[in-house]
């Protein structure tokens, strides 16, 4: 792969990949614990009327989009392909930008870890385990997991970074 040899040697890349690996590990451990300790459809209250640890599976995309599709196998493999392509793009961006640990590269590492965590579930189990249920007053947020949280946190960090002023050396 000669096209990779033209890129600068990433000094911070091992730390960024460690962040991604920790996200995948925490996601796998949390989902495994939920599957072993909470029956499907069950819940453990953490903060009454605010937060519960639940056990649900999601065959669709975010907020269960496409979960009721007439072609669930097509949806599953479509989501797997899309997720792995997106993860590959993020990994390439990390390889290009990973010479330093910055807000952008940490955000990308979080997104990569979250994408790989959910892709693992879809490939191995055919669905994603969701287990964090949040209620804010009368609003019920759809259940999610640590991989989802990592992706959203990474996206928010990217947005925040886009709002920060740039130094002359960054341009």
Positions annotated as catalytic residues are 130, 148
CA atoms 78, 65, 27, 91: torsion sign:
positive
Contact 135, 147 (CB under 8 A): no
**128 CB-near residues (< 8 Å, 6+ apart):** 57, 58, 118, 121, 122, 145, 147
* 55 exposure class (CB count in 10 Å sphere: 0-12, 13-18, 19+): buried
* 6 exposure class (CB count in 10 Å sphere: 0-12, 13-18, 19+): exposed
What's the rounded Cα separation, in Å, for the pair 136 and 28?
27
């Amino acid at each position: 792969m000669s096209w990779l040899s033209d890129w600068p040697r990433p000094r911070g890349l091992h730390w960024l990949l460690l962040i991604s690996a920790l996200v995948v590990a925490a996601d796998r451990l949390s989902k495994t614990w939920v599957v072993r300790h909470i029956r499907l459809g069950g819940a453990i209250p953490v903060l009454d009327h605010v937060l519960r640890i639940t056990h649900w599976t999601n065959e669709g995309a975010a907020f269960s989009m496409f979960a009721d599709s007439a072609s669930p196998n097509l949806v599953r493999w479509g989501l797997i392909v899309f997720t792995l392509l997106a993860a590959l793009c993020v990994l390439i961006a990390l390889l290009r930008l990973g010479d330093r640990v910055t807000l952008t590269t940490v955000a990308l590492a979080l997104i990569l870890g979250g994408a790989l965590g959910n892709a693992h579930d879809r490939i191995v189990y055919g669905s994603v385990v969701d287990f964090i249920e949040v209620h804010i007053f009368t609003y019920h947020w759809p259940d999610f997991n640590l991989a989802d949280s990592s992706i959203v946190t990474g996206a928010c960090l990217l947005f925040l970074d886009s709002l920060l002023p740039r130094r002359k050396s960054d341009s």
